[in-house]
Structure formats: C-alpha cells, structure tokens
C-alpha cells in the first residue's frame, strides 16, 4: 500500500469513527454556566416576561433570544421564546422554538430522570398541536413514575386534557 492510499484509508477511518462517536458525544453533558451568566440570562428573562405582560412581544422575543444566547440549553427559555413569537403570529418561528424546547426537555430527562421534564415535554407537544401525543406521553410517563403527583395531576381529565379544550390554550398552539 502506498503512502497516499494509507492516508486516504486513515482519513476515512477517522471520519467513520467521528460519525459514530460524535452524534451523541456532548448530549449527556449539561453546559457549564457561570453564576454571572446565569444571572444575566435570568435578568433578560425577567425583563422579557414584563414585556410580555405589557404586550410588547417583539421586545420580549429579543430579550428571550438574548437569554438563549447566554443559556441556550435551558428549554424553558425556548418555550417562552415560542410564546412570544406566537403572540406576534409568527407560528413558524414559534414551532421552531417549541421543537428546540422539546429536544432539550427530552435530553434533560434522559440525563436526570426528573418526572417534571416528562410533564414539560407533554406541554410542549400540546403547544405544537400534538395533544394526542401529549396525553400518550403522560400515560407512558405514569407507568415509569407511578408515584408522581405532578404527572398524575397533569394526566387527570381535569388537568392537561381539560386545558386543551380552552380558548386560552388554543390561542397558544402553533399549528
């Protein structure tokens, strides 16, 4: 085997190894965020929430994006960004934010096994208009966490399934 052939094979082998190893490589490791950055993100979110209350949705979106720039691994910020976009009738942008939140909640549950993340996943599925999937996830989650009061309340017919029928909830859904 000549030197160029050896180098080509080595390069292909390295690429193959990277393709196998890298897709899940960093998924399980939460981002390390300094206390200063956490505070900065929380301040952006606080100001964004105030902007939402006074119906300045464009400003709220901008501030949620700033919080995400600091702490993009926090799914709750993505949900809030989606809501700000939905309130501006940007359903495509809202869906993108909700999908990112869903991925982050799934990753966090896989890492931490916190039943509340499953409930949040169900909520985001519903915001995406997938209410049947949300109910199915809650039922499946209760089998994994039968003692979870949080999941039981959400799965109760007067919980999340009832919420799906309200006009307020229907206004939040990004279809």
Condensed to tens digits (0 to 9), the pLDDT of residues 77-117 reads 999 999 999 999 999 999 999 999 999 999 999 999 999 99
Q: Say which residue the tokens 């464009």 belong to.
A: 58
User: 22-26, 34-38, 131-135: which range is least confident on average?
Assistant: 22-26
Nearest Cα to Cα of residue 44 among 23, 12, 7, 71: 71
Helix, strand, or coil here: 59? helix
What structural domains does the chain harbor? 33-172 (1.25.40.10)
**pTM given for the model:** 0.81
In this prediction, residue 136 has a pLDDT band, given cuts at 50, 70 and 90, of very high
Tokens coding 71: 């702490």
Question: Is the predicted pLDDT of residue 35 greater than 50, yes or no?
Answer: yes
Q: Residue 1: pLDDT above 90?
A: no
Query: Residues 64, 81: contact at Cβ < 8 Å?
Result: yes
pLDDT at 29: 58
Give the CA angle between residues 36, 40, 48 to the nearest 5°: 165
DSSP 142-170: HHH-TT-HHHHHHHSTTSHHHHTTSHHHH
Is 18's pLDDT higher than 60?
A: no
Name the residue with tokens 């292909």: 12
Q: Classify residue 74 by burial, with Cβ atoms within 10 Å: 0-12, 13-18, 19+.
A: buried
């Amino acid at each position: 085997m000549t030197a160029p052939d050896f180098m080509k094979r080595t390069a292909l082998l390295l690429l193959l190894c990277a393709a196998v190893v890298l897709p899940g490589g960093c998924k399980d490791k939460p981002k390390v965020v300094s206390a200063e950055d956490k505070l900065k993100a929380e301040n952006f979110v606080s100001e964004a929430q105030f902007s939402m209350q006074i119906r300045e949705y464009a400003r709220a979106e901008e501030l949620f994006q700033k919080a995400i720039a600091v702490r993009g691994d926090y799914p709750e910020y993505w949900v809030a960004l989606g809501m700000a976009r939905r309130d501006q009738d940007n359903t495509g942008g809202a869906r993108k934010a909700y999908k990112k939140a869903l991925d982050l909640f799934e990753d966090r549950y896989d890492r931490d096994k916190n039943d509340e993340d499953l409930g949040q996943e169900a909520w985001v599925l519903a915001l995406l208009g997938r209410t049947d999937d949300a109910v199915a996830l809650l039922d499946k989650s209760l089998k994994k966490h039968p003692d979870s009061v949080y999941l039981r309340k959400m799965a109760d017919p007067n919980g999340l399934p009832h919420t799906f029928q309200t006009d307020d909830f229907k206004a939040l859904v990004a279809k």
